[in-house]
Chain A
Amino acid sequence: MADLHNLLGELEDQEEESSFIDVNATNEEVSQPPQSSSPAEADNTDIENDEVLERTSRAEVPPALAEAERKQHHQPVVDGEQGEEDDDLLMEPTRNVDDFASSLLKKKQHTSVGDGDEDIDETMLGALEDEDYAHLKTLWKQEVNCPELLGHDTETIDLFMELLQGQEESIDKLLDQSSASNSRKRHSSRSVDRNLASLVASIYKMDADRVRFMLTDLARTRLSKIEQHALFMRSMVDRMSEEEISYLKQYGELLERHLRRTVLDHFPKEAWKKLDEPEMIDSPDLDEFVFCKVLETVEIDNRDSQAAPHTQDDDDDDDDLGEDSIQEHAKGSCLIARYSAIQDLVHQGKIELLM
């Protein structure tokens, strides 16, 4: 997400320069920004930004850019109103570009490679989505790395589904804009408009793709966990959404029907036809080792009835059993641990699983 904002900032700089240079050369300059958006060149563009500020008192913000920025700034729900604003923007850009550029400068000073998420929230280009995006990402990471099914976070998922739809709409709108001809504009800015709009559209598309991938992978992982331990999951119904519950029921019936048809019905005696004796239900392997990161200072009880606890001396056995098994870990430390030892803490949110 950080690159997205840098990119739009780059476009902004290039656009301001071009309004003073020969109009025909505009097309070439617009095609440059994609290559120059690496953070390593932030210094150059800072200088450019300064020059630009000196040169302009008031320049035209490319309307598509302003529109895209405005879209990011507002909630997706407000999208309906944006459509009418398009025409206004095209006629009369009223934004003061100085504020815009200066906020960009401020942001560039904060931004380090790939880590700008928290800072972006404060600037105009940062959208409400970023916190939720980080939340979705965490949710996805946790689910993928956890041996058991985690609780279903309905709000986040619904929020992102809506967001996706909103983004789809703006992508379509931008694509239309990129192919529409607008007779009110001069020739150069019309083609610039189109290029810009299609570029912004593809950026939006990448973003939407990423969100969609995470949502899809989340759903897929949960489904496969449900299927694998179908009988066991009957006891964990409270962690699933409604559709997942009905999926579980249907899948369970399907599986049972299949097994009955092929195997169980041929058994002579009724008692052997059962599928759900306690030993037969396979529960997820909670003793898997996982990487995790400690978010708050915790104590981990490492006591395990089966495996020998980790002791530093091989001599002391029973004496140290009690002392060595409770370990305290400070915030920020990363561990490899058996999942069963940290299970409760994960549910409480004090430990987070890492990829």
Chain B
Amino acid sequence: MNYGQRGRELLVELKRSDWIPSYNDEGVRGTLEEIRLHFEELDDQATAFAGLNYSKPPMESRPSMLLHSAAIGRNKQCLLAYHSYRVDKLRALRRETPASLPPSLSTLLSEAEVDFYSEYDKLVSRYSAAIDLDLSAHQSPPEQDLIQVRVIADGLGRIVVGGGGSSVSLDMGTIHFLPRNDVEHLIRQGALEQLDTEESF
């Protein structure tokens, strides 16, 4: 049996991917299986000397018992790390763009993670409402009130802007001069591009 190799593979996979890799169900189950095997070994050894009336395990079997329990601990650590890393990424995603999961991403997640995401979404929205501040707006210090943006994604339709309540049609390639508050989330989603920063030309 691999002592902790499966767990290590899971983690290395995380490191190799951009955001998160597709949920490695097999890897997780493999690791859990290993844990079970280790545990069985432990169990065997424990029952082996239980009949011999020792209060403590005999010297010979101690190293292997230690090894097995250490391996179980290691696997547990890997599994927990794997899951909490993915969970962290999900949380960060929700922070950036408070939308529901795009379908391209939901294929990468396990069922439990999808549930987690929706629950977390609800939790954060409730908190936002409770303290009366929109947590996903204003991600950077405001420099200007109105900013110039160009539309780079298609099919956005019309949005309602500003105090006047007039609506603006977001056709592809058009440039608009809009209040920052209203368009900030679109910029973060990548639908609009801010024009009057130093990087633009």
Residues of A within 8 A of B (CB): 161, 171-172, 175, 202, 205-206, 209-210, 212-213, 215-217, 219-220, 223-224, 227, 243, 247, 250-251, 254-255, 258-259, 261-263, 266-269, 272, 275
Tell me the bound Cα distance from A239 to B67 in angstroms: 42
- CB distance A254 to B116 under 8 Å? yes
Q: How far is the CB of A304 from chain B (nearest CB, A)?
A: 28
User: Are B138 and A254 touching (Cβ within 8 A)?
Assistant: no
Separation of A175 and B35 alpha carbons in the complex (Å): 67
Option from A175, A251, A258 in Cβ contact (under 8 Å) with B112: A258
Contact (Cβ within 8 A) B123 A202:
no
Q: In the complex the two chains form, is A210's CB within 8 Å of B142's CB?
A: yes
Residue of A nearest to B181 (CB): A209
Q: When A205-B145, A259-B80, A267-B35 are in contact, do A216 and B134 touch as well, CB less than 8 Å?
A: yes
CB-CB under 8 A from A217, the residues of chain B are: 138
- A172, A263, A272 — most chain B CB neighbours (10 Å): A263
Does B137 belong to the interface (CB within 8 Å)?
A: yes
B132 adjacent to chain A (CB < 8 Å): yes
Which of B14-22, B49-57, B83-91 sits within the interface?
B83-91
Q: How many chain B residues have a CB neighbour from A under 8 Å?
A: 37
A243-B133 in contact (CB<8A) = no
Q: Which of A206, A216, A250, A258 contacts B87 (CB 8 A)?
A: A258
Q: Which of A171, A216, A254 contacts B133 (CB 8 A)?
A: A216
B20, chain A: closest CB distance, angstroms: 14
Q: Chain B's nearest CB lies how many Å from the CB of A38?
A: 17
Which of the residues B72, B115, B134, B141 comes within 8 Å of A272, measured between beta carbons?
B72
List the 10 shortest-distance A-B pairs measured between CB atoms, nearest first: A213-B138, A209-B142, A268-B39, A263-B79, A266-B32, A258-B116, A216-B138, A243-B130, A261-B112, A262-B112
Do residues B39 and A269 form an inter-chain contact, with CB atoms below 8 A?
Answer: yes
Does B127 lie within 8 Å of A223, measured CB to CB?
yes
A175 touches B137 (CB 8 A): no
A210-B142, A243-B130 given; A263·B36 CB < 8 A: no
A153 to chain B: closest CB distance in Å?
A: 14
Q: Decide: A216 and B135 in contact? CB cutoff 8 A.
A: yes
Contacts of B28 in A (CB 8 A): 262-263
A-B contact count (CB 8 A): 83
- Are A272 and B87 in contact (CB-based, < 8 A)? no
Closest to B141 in A: A213
Please, which residues of chain A bring their CB within 8 A of the CB of B134?
216
Q: How far is the CA of A227 from the CA of B90 in the complex (A)?
A: 13
Counting CB contacts under 8 A, is B119 at the interface? yes
> Which B residues are closer than 8 A to A by beta carbons?
28, 32, 35-36, 39, 72, 76, 79-80, 83-84, 87, 91, 95, 110, 112-113, 115-116, 119-120, 123, 127, 130-135, 137-138, 141-142, 145, 163, 180-181
B142, A262: Cβ atoms under 8 Å? no
Q: A residues within 8 A CB of B84?
A: 255, 259
Q: Hey, which chain B residues are within 8 Å of A212, CB to CB?
A: 133, 138
**CB<8 Å pairs between A and B, sample of 12:** A206-B145, A212-B138, A213-B141, A215-B133, A216-B133, A216-B134, A247-B127, A254-B116, A254-B123, A258-B113, A263-B79, A267-B76
Cα-based distance from A254 to B32 in the complex (angstroms): 22
B127 near A243: Cβ-Cβ < 8 Å: yes
B133: chain A residues at CB < 8 Å are: 212, 215-216, 219
What is the CB-to-nearest-CB distance from A174 to chain B, in angstroms, rounded to a whole number?
A: 10
Most-contacted residue by chain B among A206, A209, A269, A275 (CB, 10 A): A209
Residue pair B145, A254 in contact (C-beta under 8 Å): no
Supplied contacts A213-B141, A216-B134, 11 more A-B pairs, CB within 8 Å: A206-B145, A209-B138, A209-B180, A210-B141, A216-B138, A220-B95, A223-B127, A223-B135, A247-B123, A258-B87, A262-B83
CB distance from A187 to the nearest CB of B (A): 23
> What residues of chain B lie closer than 8 Å to A255, measured between beta carbons?
84, 87
